[in-house]
Amino acid sequence: MNKATQRIPKPSWLKIRLNMGEEFLEVRRTLNELDLHTVCQEARCPNIYECWSNRTATFMIAGDVCTRRCGFCAVSKGEPKPLDPGEPAHVAEAVRILNLRHAVITGVNRDDKGDGGAEHWAATIRAVRALNPDCKIEVLIPDFEGNDDALDVVLDARPDVLNHNTETVPRLYRRVRPHARYREWTMKLLARAAERRDSERRGMLTKSGIMVGLGETAEEIIETMRDLRAVDCDVLTVGQYLQPAERRLPVERYYTPEEFAEFKRAGLEMGFRYVESGPLVRSSYHAHEHKPENAHKISEAILAEQEAQGRRRELPVLNSLA
């Protein structure tokens, strides 16, 4: 068996507890009745039972077929159907029925559209806000192939959190995200969003996520985190990559909970306002907690506790952060 096909056994800390109680079933019924897709289902997220049981879900708009072929993703690839003009209203209605205070909306890449589907994103944000004025709206957007005008369309709709995932370290982009561009599209998008937020003096947070276990080094993870802070990214998520299907990229390493704790500490010391780091963490995990009023309290409490207990383990890669 060669390296490409050999599978590393999953460690014990990746076990999850299934909870299919009434709350979970009600969320599933609502989504099915409104013919909505969620990334929870399409990406086979390991947290679906926990999140749905807490009445949270990440809506996936613009269809369920992506125009890109990223090596890590379980979402179907190919030629997508036309955009559904009724989808923004359906998402807004689902948010109302589920009584969400924090709605997370993601979507497939629509490179078949001149604006990458940006106007559809904006229409969804406006529809959700019109029907649910007290609900915070987080959008996990694609890179729009570096189209600044498309990004501005989304920003003009004024989401509360603008999320775009970095996914992996720059060295692995060609293999993991072959159609993406690390600095020209991803970092530029996050920088532009932060600049507009600051110039308009609005409270929007910027956010990004990294998967680990695809062959990167710990040093590269730290350097990518520094790049994100350099473009003033506020919130960071770090989670373990799990191979979703046979033909997707294999897992090359499982990081320990202790290593994730070190990444969290490193991120807080860099100045991220909130860091969610753990084996099962995904970009929308605990998203409702990523608020400006929570971030500093939580960050300071974690750092103070670890310092008081002398629990900091000096991993070689983090020596430079001491």
Q: Rounded to whole angstroms, how far apart are CA atoms 66 and 43?
A: 12
Mean predicted confidence (pLDDT) in 106-121: 94
Highest mean pLDDT among 22-31, 71-80, 242-251, 264-273 belongs to 264-273
Q: Rounded to whole angstroms, how far apart are CA atoms 164 and 210?
A: 10
Band of the pLDDT at 239, cuts 50, 70, 90? very high
Cβ atoms of residues 99 and 132 within 8 Å: no
| 107 DSSP β-pair partners | 61
- Percentage of the residues of the chain whose pLDDT score is greater than 90: 53
295 pLDDT more than 80: no
Cβ atoms of residues 254 and 213 within 8 Å: yes
Would you state the pLDDT for residue 57? 64
Quote the pTM value: 0.80
Q: Rounded to whole angstroms, how far apart are CA atoms 274 and 251?
A: 27
Structure tokens at 311: 């629990």
Which of 13-27, 92-106, 212-226, 306-320 has the lowest average pLDDT? 306-320
Cβ atoms of residues 279 and 260 within 8 Å: yes
**Residue 1 DSSP one-character state:** -
Q: Rounded to whole angstroms, how far apart are CA atoms 18 and 77?
A: 29
More reliable by pLDDT, 192 or 29: 192
Would you state the pLDDT for residue 27? 63
Which of 63-77, 116-130, 133-147 has the lowest average pLDDT? 63-77
37 pLDDT more than 90: no
Strands 58-61 and 136-140: unpaired
Mean predicted confidence (pLDDT) in 57-79: 82
More reliable by pLDDT, 285 or 95: 95
Cβ atoms of residues 284 and 235 within 8 Å: no
Element (H, E) at 305: helix 292-309
For the chain, report the end-to-end CA distance as a whole number of angstroms.
42
Band of the pLDDT at 145, cuts 50, 70, 90? very high
Q: Which domains does the chain have, with CATH numbers?
A: 26-316 (3.80.30.10)
What pLDDT, in 10s, does the model give residues 204-220? 999 999 999 999 999 99
Would you state the pLDDT for residue 200? 92
Which of 82-91, 92-101, 188-197 has the lowest average pLDDT? 92-101
234: left (phi over 0), alpha (psi -120 to 50) or beta: alpha
More reliable by pLDDT, 305 or 245: 245
15 pLDDT more than 90: no
Strands 37-38 and 58-61: antiparallel
